[in-house]
Amino acid sequence: MAVLFLILQPWSYSRSVVRAVCACAVFIVWTFTAFVAGVHGGPIVGAYVTWLMLVTAGLLVLVCVSGVARWWWHRRHRDRSAMPVSQ
């Protein structure tokens, strides 16, 4: 969790797609490594890998939501700057 918080920095997040993609990439590699290393592990390792898969799935959703929010924000502000100023 500390790694996730250090990458995402939730106190200053503000639709940062780059942070979400970096965190997602780190957790995809981490999840794959844990899965391969613990494929014959016991139920504790299985629970850990399941937790990592859920975190990674949540990060994928975060990437999508942040991307759409960033796109929407830029679209809205671009449209406002193109509007004529009333006098």
- Reading the chain (87 residues) residue by residue, the pLDDT tens digits are 888 888 888 788 777 888 999 999 999 999 999 999 988 889 999 999 999 999 999 999 999 999 998 888 888 877 665 555 555
Query: Is residue 30 within 8 Å of residue 72, measured between CB atoms?
Result: no
State whether residue 6 is helix, strand or coil.
helix
Q: What is the C-alpha separation between 19 and 7, in angstroms, rounded?
A: 6
Q: What pLDDT score was predicted for residue 85?
A: 56
- For 80, what's the count of Cα atoms within 13 Å in the CB-facing half-sphere? 6
Q: Are 38 and 49 in contact (CB under 8 A)?
A: yes
Measuring CA to CA, which residue among 8, 10, 4 is closest to residue 30?
Answer: 4
